[in-house]
Each structure stands twice: as C-alpha cells, then as structure tokens.
Structure 1
Amino acid sequence: MIGHNHRYWWYDSRFSIYGFNAFRSKVGQLEAQVFQEKNAQSLLTDNMQTFLNAKQQYERATTAIDKQTAIAAWQTALNQFEQIPGQTLAGKTVQNQLDNYKREFQEVIGLAAGNDRISALITAARQFSWQAAKAGQNPPHTVTEWRQIENLWIEAIERLKEIPSKDVADYTKTQKLLAIYEANLGQVKVRRQAEADAVEALERAQREIESLLASIPADAHDGERNRVLSQLQSIIHQLEKVQNGTTTYLKAQELLLSANNKLRQLQIK
C-alpha cells in the first residue's frame, strides 16, 4: 500500500495535467524561438545579398539613373536590416554593423549629390561658353556686344571655379577647361579694348576734320598751309590707330585715303 501510494505520488508530480501543459508550453516557446532564429537568419542572408548587390550596382553604374536606382535598392536593404528582430542572433549580428553600413551609405549619398552638383556646374559652364562662342562669331562687334560676350565667359569661368579641388578627376578636367575659357576671355577683352580705342580714334579724327574744314581760308598762305599739313598729319595719325576687325575700320580707311590724297596735294604745291 505504501508502494502503491508512492507510485501515484510520483506519477502525480511528474505527469499531472498541469505539469504536462507547462512542459508543452515550454516546448512551444522553444520551437517558436528556433523558428524565429531560422527566419531571422534567412532574412539576414537574403538581405545581405541584396545589400551587396546594390553596392556593386552603384559602383558599376555609369548613368545618373542607374546610380539613383542602386541607391534606392541600397536604402531598401538598410531598412530591411532594421526589420530583423533584435533579440535574435542574426539581429544582434547585423545591429553591430548597421551603424557602419548607414555611415557608409550617407557618405555615398553625399558623394553622389556632390557629383551631381559638379556635373551641373560643368554643364552650366559649357552652356555659357557655347553662348559666348556663338555671340563672338562674325565680328566686328560693338563695345557693348564685346562686353556681353565677356560677361558670358566670366559666367562660365565662375561655374568652373566652384568645383572643389578635392575631386581630383573632375578638378583636373575643369582646370583644362578653365585655362581655355580664361584665354578666350583674355582675347575678348583685347578685342573689346581695340573696339573702344578705334571708336575713340575715329571720333577724334572726325572732330579734327570738321575743325580743319571750317578753318581753311580760300587763299591760304604758306604759314596757313603748314598748319593744315600739320593738322592733316594728326588726322592721319588718329585714323591709323583704328585696327582692322573693328566696326569703324572701313570708315577710317575711307577717311584715311582722302586725308592722304589731300596731304599729297598740299605737299606738291
């Protein structure tokens, strides 16, 4: 009887309904944890491949659209990493590296934005240079027109100067463009100054011609003739300052021919 009670006591403590349910609950929890760990590990493995593929896609991208597509995939992968439960081994593993992954991504985003800005600056510089070159065709041009062309070259140069020297590849390329643009600007400045000098010289010569015509008497004596000769030589000197390629050149050549003819006539007398 004692043995029989002892057996029931042992049975009750080890295999009671309460004990069985508790045991089954524990097993269920363990199974759920195992499932969660497997699922988390699967998510980590799959997303890690997506993450690496996105990085490679970005590195190989040659167009702005391809780069943006890769960046979007990269961002999605980072978001998926955060969805892995932190209490799992896989979650703890990725959490240790996630800050580094995010930091790297932000650096790339900044670089991409910088590259986009550099491309935009180079494009703008080329557009201004094209407008300047187009406006400079078929000279001569007035001082005002040369100044407008000059300003277009300055705008192109200013865009290139905004590109930072730390970007070695683009900086080297832009320095070559910058040298060309600055040389073109220098030529335009020379042409603009030549035009301004030509206009001034022609105007001075025309004023002297008007003064001379108004002061020549009908019966000029030798002293008066010498004064006219001297004034004609001054007029010729002013007209010879007018350079070819300026808006006043043809007019200056016409007046110069007349002045030289008149000078020869007076010298013969």
Structure 2
Amino acid sequence: MYRLNKKAWKLLLAEVQKCSGNDQVGQIEQQIVIKRLEKLRLEKGSPAGLEELRDTVIDIYPQFSEKILKQAAKANQPPGIFSKIKWVVIVVGGAAGVLWVVNLPYPMIRRPVSRTVPLLLLPSYISMDYNYREAIHNLEQADQLINQATSPADIQRGGEKVKAAKRNLDKLPVWFLGYYPQAYCNLFGCSWRFTVDEFDTARQRVGRIEAIAFQDQNALVPLTQAEQTLKTAKQQYQQASTTEQREQAIAIWQEGIDQLEQIPQQTLAAKTAQAKIKAYKRDFENARIGSFITAAQEFDLAAEKAKATQPQTASELWQQAINRIKEVPVENPRYVEAQKLLATYQGKIQGIVDPRSSKIIEGAKQFAFAAAKASQNPPHTETKWKQIAQLWSTAIEKLQTIPVEEPGYLEAQKLLATYQSNLGIIETRLQAEIESQSSLKQANEEIERLIAAPPSDPQQFKAQIQGIINELNTVKSGTTAYAEAQALLVQAQKRLQP
C-alpha cells in the first residue's frame, strides 16, 4: 500500500498550484512541495495522516487550505475492517449507536460487554492493535534514522517518524493496560504483553528521540553558518589586494573554523564538520603562511623605495617584514623559503646601520646556506664532506674579519658560534666516513685473501671470518660504506653457522 493515494494526490496538487506564484521563486517552491508529495506516493507503508500532510506543505505554503488537507487525509485512508464491520452492523441490526457506545474507553461500559458479548468490542481492539504495532514500527524507524543519520534528510524523516509514533501512542488507551492486558492478548492469541511499564518506556523513548532530532536539526544551523563564513573568507582572501584585506579575511576564516569546533559533538552536524575540518584547517594554514610571506615581501618593496631618502622608515618596514617571517613555523613546507627571506631582510637592515659588516655577514650567510643545502640527504662521500666543511670554514673566516668596534660584531659572534658548531659536526661526519671506508677496504682485502688461500683448519677459518666480522662492525651507520658492510656482515655470519 502506498502512503498517498491518487485521489488525495489530486486534491493536494490542485491546492498547491493554486497557492504557488508565477515567478521563479514560486515555481521552485511548487517543485519542492510536489517532490515531497511524489515521495509519499512512491513510498510504501501506512497512509499519511492529516498531521503528516500538513507538515509536508505548511512550511512552504502557510496559507494552504485546512479544508483541503482534511479532505485529502480522509480520502487517503483506506477502508479498514472497522469500517466494514460498522456498515455490516448498520445494515443487519441498525445498531451503530450501540456499537459506538460499547466501544467507548470507559471500563464501566466495556467490562459487562466483554463478559457477555465480547465480539462487539472487536473494533476498538483492532484499533488498539493497529496503533500499538504502528507505534513500535515508527519508533524503530525513527531510532534508526536519527541515531544512524547520514544526511539532514535522515534527520528530517526521523523527526516525521517520531511524530507519527507519538500520535499512535496517544491513541492507545492507557487505562485498559491497568485493567486487563492479559485478556486483550488472549482474545487475539497475541504473544506480546503491552503493559503500563512498556507504555511508559515507549513514551520516554519518543521523548529522547525527539530531543536528539531537535538537537540535530538545531546543530545544522551553525554548520551552515560556519561553512558560509569559510566560503566568504576564502573568496575575500582570493580577491584581497592589500595586506590589511588579507589579514581581515584570515580573521574571518579563523572565526569559521572556531564555529565548526563549537558544534555539539554528539550531532550529525559535528560528524560532518569533523570530516571537513582537516581540509579547512590545511587551507587556512596555507593561506595564513602565504599571507605572512606576501606581507613581508610587500614591506620589503616599500622599504626598497624608501631607503634612499628615508633610511629610518625603510629599517622599520624591514623589521615589519622580519616580524611576519618569524611567524612561519618550522614544520611548514615554506619554512626554508621564509628563512632565506629572513636572512635577506636582516642583511638589509644591517646594511643601513653598518654597510661594511653587513655585507660581510650577508656573504658569510650565503656560504652557510650553501653548506646547509649541500648537507641534506646524507650519507655523502669523503670528497663532498670536505667541500661542505670548506664552505663552513669560508663563512667562519669572513665573520672573523669583523672587528669588535663595528656594529655588526655582536651578530657576527652569534653566527660564528653556530657555524663553528656546524663545522665540528661536519668534521665528525667526515672522519666517520674516512674510517668506515678504510674498515670496509680492509675487510674486503681480508675476504679476498681468504678466498684465494682458505685455511684447511676449520677453527682457523672461523677465526679469520670472525676477524672480518669485527672489522665490518667498525663501519659506522650514516656513511656510504655502511650498506655494503651490512651486506657482507650477513654473509660472514652465515659462514660461521654450523
């Protein structure tokens, strides 16, 4: 059975067309309501009642005719067993009034009838059975839709189901459960026992699911607002032409992310936000770092224009650029780029205060930068380690030429401490490379001698193998000889095994 029959559909469709306007908005509203009604037409289940039909149209068309809604709800209800029995009773005995009276929800009427003519109570029993089963059915669907929601449509549908379950529970006579629920069950041979406690539990469950649905629907509002804020911030950032405009967009961007993080965690909106927030934060961080670097470059351009006539202003602008660059964290992919700019801007400030020493320091930094870049991705050969050490030595020699009376002396001494420490590390790596290559060469020579003239005594053979192993173990990790030494070590250890 479909939830909306053809007759009810025609009544509602005519009123929808009557309520809708001729403009574009009116056509869109009409399409939304028609799509909802078509969904009911294609959905199988219990017929949609007055409340559900009203909920389907009233948010779009508050002026929708209540009379048409009632007519459609009535037309949508199929003739049930109760209706058929009623007409049979009217035709056969003309006792419709009596049947209505005896089925009233009053124990003083029902008790004597149930003892003498229980069949007359069949309509109310069928109604109770129907509403009980529909309440359980709608409640289970609402529970699944709300607690396992995957989209806002699930929440909306779950809210409709819980309202339907509530209407079904309202139609169950609680007074009956306290009098004789077992007689009700025995009359139909049913296996369930719907008690007052079960009714209260169902009521509590309806209230809990209603609250969850309410929270979920409310949480969708800040989610939509936050996503709109983020979209607006991204557009403003892309269209920004000045540092101030970019920083304003960044502030709005941060506000949108904060809004997402404040959504209640137990809601569908929070789960949706958590699935997106990582990407939002990544884009935000890229924009923030990009803003720092772009702002620094703009300050640099302004300082270059001002340095000839306003050296103090240029120095202040370069300091602003340095302050922006220092905001770039170490773990950011653009950190190396930022550090290179930082060194450049610091050199330019120093060039205004102390042109001679600043040039020497800038030259030393260039050698240091080349050395640091060449040191990446070790291990390196002995020759390359020597080249790197020479670069550090050249940087150190330049800094040592700055006398104590020059303004750049203090900065030069700070750099000297760092560069000399780095040179020491490089010299240690160079010595390890030299020694490891020597050990590997000696081990290979011993292997060649052993292959050329293996001893006949097994113990002597093992002793020579052990000597080769000891020599290979002196090869240090982080050297170019280490991988080959480890491969030879594995082979030698296998030869010692019985």
Give TM class, smaller chain. Answer: 0.5 to 0.7
Q: Quick one: distance in 1 between partners of 2:111 and 2:275?
A: 68
Deviation at 1:80, TM superposition (A): 1.5
2:134 corresponding residue in structure 1: 50
Residue 171 of structure 2 aligns to a residue whose secondary structure is: helix
- Structure 1 residues 1-269: aligned runs within 5 Å: 31-34=112-115, 35=118, 41-58=125-142, 59=144, 62-82=153-173, 84-85=175-176, 87-90=178-181, 93-138=194-239, 141-166=241-266, 171=270, 173-211=272-310
Q: CA deviation at 1:111?
A: 1.7
The alpha carbon displacement at 1:118 in A equals 3.4
Unpaired runs of 5+ residues, structure 1, are 1-27, 213-233, 244-269
- CA distance in 2 between partners of 1:202 and 1:99 (Å): 75
Q: Which amino acid aligns with 2:246?
A: W
Instruction: Provide the C-alpha distance between the structure 1 equivalents of 2:291 and 2:215, rounded to a whole number of angstroms.
Output: 37
User: Quick one: structure 1 residues 60 and 208, their matched pair in 2 at CA, closer, same or farther if it must change by over 3 Å?
Assistant: closer
Could you tell me which runs of 5 or more consecutive residues in structure 2 were left unpaired when the two chains were aligned.
1-108, 147-152, 185-192, 326-498
Q: How many residues align?
A: 191
* C-alpha distance in structure 1 between counterparts of 2:198 and 2:156, whole Å: 28
- Contact 1:54-1:73 at 8 Å conserved across structures: yes
Question: How far does residue 37 in structure 1 lie from its aligned partner after superposition?
Answer: 6.6
Q: Quote the offset at 1:102 in angstroms.
A: 1.2
SS at match of 1:158: helix
Cα displacement (A) at 1:51: 0.6
Provide the secondary structure at the position in 1 that maps to 2:287. helix
- Give the % identical residues: 12
Structure 2 length-normalised TM:
0.33
Alignment partner of 2:238: what SS?
Answer: coil
Q: CA RMSD in A?
A: 3.8
Report the CA distance shift for 1:182/1:60 in structure 2 as closer, same or farther (over 3 A). closer
**Structure possessing the higher relative contact order (Cα contacts under 8 Å, 6 or more residues apart):** 1
Q: Give 1:74 shift.
A: 1.3
Code of the residue aligned with 2:216 in structure 1: it is N
Q: CA distance change for structure 1 residues 183 and 60 in 2, over 3 Å: closer, same or farther? A: closer
CA distance in 1, matches of 2:264, 2:145: 24
**SS state at 1:136 partner:** helix
Structure with the higher helix share, 1 or 2: 1
1:34-86 Cα shifts (integer Å, max 9, x gaps): 45975653343121122123224434584454333212211111212246545
* TM-score, normalised with respect to structure 1: 0.56
Residue 138 and residue 93 in structure 1: after superposition, are their counterparts in 2 closer, same or farther (change >3 A)? closer
Matches of 2:199 and 2:121, distance apart in 1: 19
Separation in structure 1 between the aligned mates of residue 160 and residue 266 of structure 2, nearest angstrom: 26
Larger Rg belongs to: 1
Query: Taking structure 1 as reference, are residues 198 and 41 closer, same or farther at Cα in structure 2, changes over 3 Å only?
Result: same
